[in-house]
């Protein structure tokens, strides 16, 4: 590995503006919680009633753009020099993608979403609690957690990886815009782009932390009889904030990598247990039927909005999920780019979109499908428990299987590990984005963003729990949609100017950096911390 030779940079306006406004949001939540939630609720209603369609169309358009790149001659371009090769083995690469990016969702929604859709089918497409509703429930779970989400992540990962590894630019989202904005990308307009990126990242990850705290709280109450409620959830956030901040300081190769691989092992064992101990034949059959329905109805499902009175449902599910992925786009993209140096565009798109989607389809089928089968054919009560409290879902399912105490303990541990790895990666990315793109953020900066992330999660839980988390992520992601549109144009302009495309007969033998690399950039491939 080549060590980073670029010196650490000063803290610029992105840091001070981001920290200042984030601190004001925390103070607003402390001294005016009711007003904060009222404003967020009003903004949510206005945005989703008028612009909800944007959250539906953006992921579909990005998916089409990425598939075009992968299947065209652009697919051979590497994220780095032509002689660069991947830094991580494929299994470690995929484990980090899954564990450090979307892991907590496996626990929070792996049972809760399919069961919720089973009892209240989306858009009234089936009779509640029927076999048809079971297929629709999994189909829409696949929609929320599959190709659409990973298309957003892959777009940011590709653009960022190309900009930093191949063009040698600073590790900032604004740097990607240089082909479109020129020198203005380094001025106030670029600063605004980076600040929007920080806010979207902060609130997107805060939502995950809040969901993780709710899951761990519920599991501990069941296992140990601890008092469940906001106080316990705050304690959980404080403790895990200390843990993930310490992990972030330790580096990608030690902290995130080993925790991610450990997550995958534990998740794999739990997956195999439920698959083999449950109705395996039913799960296999409903998997293929649901995937078939998902593919057959892909465009209709992807573009079905709230024209006929489904606004409340869309706000709770589809709009929330798509906004969550948009808000996570930069964070996940930066992390994907960091671990994907040396991959070709074709490899990146194929694995980043395909492998996690397949893994999530299988997970939702085994756990959500088992819950549905239990209620549909064996008189189980998973749906009833989920309706009472969505955080009951996973644990209510495990009560229907052997060794419920052991498996529930494994879920609590898994939720905690996913919680830590996701927040760990988030802390590093926030530190990088607010340190002029330096791939070695200072330890005090990492500590500050770890603490800020935990503080915002606490404020939102105290203000309104799950509803507050959902409202904030939708509202905070709205300005970021404009950033995505500009990013696509800038990235496309970059690719068309790549020497490998301009002169295909003369393939370059090295990366194609711009004339001067701004402070904070790097062309090295070593541990960023």
Q: What is the pLDDT of residue 3?
A: 34
CATH numeric code, 13-500: 1.20.1740
The total of other beta-carbon atoms located within 10 Å of residue 406's CB is 11
Q: What is the pLDDT of residue 259?
A: 64
What percentage of the chain's residues is helix, strand, coil (to nearest 5)? 75, 0, 20
- DSSP letter (8 states) at residue 334: H
Residues 340, 342, 345, 350: what is their CA dihedral angle, to the nearest 10 degrees? -60
Q: What is the pLDDT of residue 277?
A: 93
Cβ contact 134:118 at 8 Å: yes
The two structure tokens encoding residue 375: 């209620």
Q: What is the pLDDT of residue 11?
A: 76
Q: What is the pLDDT of residue 301?
A: 93
Stated pTM of the model: 0.84
**Could you tell me which of 160, 91, 86 has the C-alpha nearest to residue 341?**
86
Exposed/middle/buried for residue 73 (C-beta within 10 Å: 0-12, 13-18, 19+): exposed
The two structure tokens encoding residue 197: 């990126």
What is the SS3 string spanning 202-254?
HHHHHHHHHHHHHHHHHHHHHHHCCCCCHHHHHHHHHHHHHHHHHHHHHCHHH
Q: What is the pLDDT of residue 467?
A: 67
The two structure tokens encoding residue 527: 């541990």
Please tell me the distance from the alpha carbon of residue 165 to that of residue 147, in angstroms, as a whole number.
25
In the block, tokens 């606490």 appear at 458
In tens digits, the chain (529 residues) has pLDDT values of: 333 333 445 677 888 888 888 888 878 877 777 787 788 788 888 888 888 889 899 999 999 999 999 999 999 999 988 888 888 888 778 877 776 565 677 888 899 999 999 999 999 899 999 999 999 999 999 999 999 999 999 999 999 999 999 998 988 899 999 999 988 888 899 999 998 888 888 877 777 777 778 888 888 888 888 888 888 888 888 887 787 777 666 654 455 556 666 777 888 899 999 999 989 999 999 999 999 999 999 999 999 988 777 888 888 889 888 888 888 888 888 888 888 999 999 999 999 999 889 989 999 999 999 999 999 998 888 999 999 888 889 999 999 999 999 999 988 888 887 777 777 777 878 888 888 877 778 888 888 888 888 888 887 777 766 566 667 777 777 888 888 999 999 999 999 998 887 654 444 445 555 644 443 333 333 333 3
Q: What is the pLDDT of residue 234?
A: 85
Please tell me the distance from the alpha carbon of residue 409 to that of residue 220, in angstroms, as a whole number.
8
Q: What is the pLDDT of residue 8?
A: 47
The two structure tokens encoding residue 310: 């489904």
Q: What is the pLDDT of residue 38?
A: 82
């Amino acid at each position: 590995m080549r060590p980073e030779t670029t010196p650490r940079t000063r803290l610029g306006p992105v840091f001070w503006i981001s920290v200042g406004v984030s601190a004001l949001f925390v103070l607003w939540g402390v001294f005016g919680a009711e007003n904060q939630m009222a404003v967020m609720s009003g903004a949510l209603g206005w945005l989703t009633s008028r612009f909800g369609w944007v959250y539906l169309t953006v992921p579909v358009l990005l998916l089409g753009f990425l598939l075009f790149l992968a299947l065209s001659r652009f697919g051979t371009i590497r994220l780095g020099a032509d002689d660069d090769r991947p830094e991580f083995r494929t299994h470690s690469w995929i484990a980090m993608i899954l564990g450090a990016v979307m892991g907590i969702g496996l626990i929070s929604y792996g049972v809760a979403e399919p069961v919720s859709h089973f009892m209240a089918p989306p858009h009234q497409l089936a009779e509640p609690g029927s076999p048809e509703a079971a297929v629709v429930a999994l189909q829409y779970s696949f929609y929320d957690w599959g190709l659409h989400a990973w298309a957003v992540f892959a777009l940011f990962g590709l653009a960022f990886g190309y900009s930093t590894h191949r063009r040698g630019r600073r590790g900032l989202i604004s740097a990607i815009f240089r082909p479109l904005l020129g020198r203005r990308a380094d001025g106030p307009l670029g600063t605004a782009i980076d600040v929007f990126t920080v806010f979207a990242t902060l609130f997107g990850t805060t939502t995950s932390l809040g969901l993780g705290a709710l899951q761990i709280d519920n599991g501990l109450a069941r296992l140990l009889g601890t008092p469940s409620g906001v106080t316990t959830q705050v304690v959980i956030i404080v403790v895990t904030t200390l843990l993930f901040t310490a992990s972030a300081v330790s580096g990608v190769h030690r902290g995130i990598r080993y925790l991610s691989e450990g997550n995958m092992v534990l998740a794999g064992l739990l997956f195999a247990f439920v698959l083999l101990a449950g109705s395996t034949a039913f799960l296999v059959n409903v998997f293929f039927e649901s995937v078939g329905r998902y593919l057959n109805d892909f465009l209709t499902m992807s573009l079905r909005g709230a024209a006929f009175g489904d606004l409340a449902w869309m706000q709770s599910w589809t709009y929330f999920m798509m906004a969550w992925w948009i808000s996570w786009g930069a964070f996940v993209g930066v992390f994907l780019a960091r671990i994907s140096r040396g991959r070709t565009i074709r490899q990146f798109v194929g694995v980043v979109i395909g492998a996690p989607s397949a893994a999530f389809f299988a997970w939702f089928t085994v756990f959500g499908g088992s819950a549905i089968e239990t209620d549909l054919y064996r008189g189980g009560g998973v749906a009833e428990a989920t309706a009472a409290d969505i955080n009951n879902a996973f644990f209510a399912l495990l009560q229907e299987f052997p060794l419920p105490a052991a498996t529930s303990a494994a879920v609590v541990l898994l939720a905690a590990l996913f919680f830590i790895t996701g927040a760990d990666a988030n802390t590093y990315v926030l530190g990088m984005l607010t340190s002029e793109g330096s791939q070695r953020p200072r330890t005090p900066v990492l500590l500050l963003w770890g603490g800020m992330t935990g503080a915002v999660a606490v404020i939102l839980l105290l203000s309104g729990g799950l509803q507050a988390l959902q409202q904030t992520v939708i509202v905070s992601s709205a300005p970021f949609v404009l950033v995505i549109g500009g990013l696509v144009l800038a990235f496309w302009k970059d690719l068309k100017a790549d020497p490998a495309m301009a002169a295909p007969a003369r393939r370059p033998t090295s990366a194609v950096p711009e004339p001067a690399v701004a402070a904070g950039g790097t062309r090295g491939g070593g541990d960023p911390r």
